[in-house]
Amino acid sequence: MINWIHSDLFGENAMQTRQDIAAYQACLIGGALGDALGGPIEFQDIAEIRKTYGEAGIQNLVDPEFTDDTQMTLFTAEGLLRFGLQNDGRDIQLITLIFQSYLRWLYTQGEPIPPSLRTGFLLKQKPLFQQKAPGQTCLNALSSGKMGSRNYALNNSKGCGGVMRVAPIGLYFWQDPEKAFRLGADAAAITHSHASGYLSAGAYSGLIALLVVGNELKKSLYECLALLKAYPKHEEVYFELDRALEMHASGLKTSPEQLAKMGKGWPGAVGEEALAMSVFCALNHTQDFKQGVLAAVNHSGDSDSTGILTGQILGLINGLNALPEDWKNRLKQIELLQTLAEDLFRLSSSSSSPSLELINRYLS
């Protein structure tokens, strides 16, 4: 049995909102489940998937280990937690800390980084040192040693490696969706310099923040569209999200063939497509986590990335009890996801000083 609530890290006056902690856990664990579900079929087209798993496609957690998508999500969370523990109020400090956390992830993939950065809780987790098909754009950008930004381009990539990792930003800045949007875009721009690559991440971070406060999914998406309009070069992301809403409204099904029409080449490989495909699956299966993530991975595209995004959305909306028990029991490193989700909740929700235990976990 998994104990979903850890010891109080903030003393006697800590906020004890179990359901909110569980919602954060459901978001990260739900995403990891979708990621792990899609991992084995990431590079297969739907014909190959059906040949291997049957007409309905993959239906169970074949490989209980998550991929680079969840790895980088955890390192995003670590950057946020370090920021919260030594916050001087500057956004640039947060993005620098997230960049440094991504360099730690790069180290787990076998690349050298400065010794001063080889610290922290996540580098003590040996399973994170596995290479699970890491994205080439992330590897190349981080290996350059340079920190990209919306004003400093490293490349012209709009791959989904930016959007798939930023949910923790929405969880942390849940009280300010506009800020969550902006910082989600900034975090993605560290490695992905095309506007559609970082604005899809911004929209997703904003969406997560809006969902945390209890807004329903469709309303949250329309608010994200409104936020998008404030940014130059938002048109591609806006078009894809708006189309997903229209497809849902028209009653179209989330079949592999329909999802394939939402992408060009390898569906979901770029940020705006991955986000739109995931949103479409979540809209069509808002109250059914399992069917939503199964729809999100069974197609000819980037299955683990659409799986993680859909799983995070539906996990956050429906909670831990909606996640299949047998999948949760098999998922590797679930306690690590549980820990970071709870720490994110506590640090983003409490005005009390964090305990020495929390400081030692992330700053030692």
- For residue 152, the cross-strand partners are 149
- For residue 200, the cross-strand partners are none
Sign of CA dihedral 7, 8, 10, 12: negative
Q: Which of 139, 141, 100, 155 is closest to 122 using CA atoms?
A: 100
List of long-range contacts for 90-99, beta carbons under 8 Å, 24+ apart: 91/182, 91/183, 91/186, 94/183, 95/147, 95/149, 95/183, 95/186, 95/187, 95/190, 96/147, 98/187, 98/190, 99/147, 99/190
Residues 249, 315: Cα–Cα separation, whole Å: 22
Q: Is there a binding annotation on residue 68?
A: yes
Q: Is there a binding annotation on residue 67?
A: yes
- Tell me the DSSP string of 183-202: HHHHHHHTT--SHHHHHHHH
Q: Is there a binding annotation on residue 69?
A: yes
Residues 314, 316: Cα–Cα separation, whole Å: 5
The single residue listed with the structure tokens 């989904």 is 160
* Cα dist from 207 to 173, 187, 255, 269, 349, whole Å: 11, 15, 24, 20, 18
- For residue 10, how far is the Cα from the chain centroid? 26
Q: Is there a binding annotation on residue 305?
A: yes
Annotated binding site for Mg(2+): 67-69, 302, 304-305
Annotated binding site: 67-69, 302, 304-305
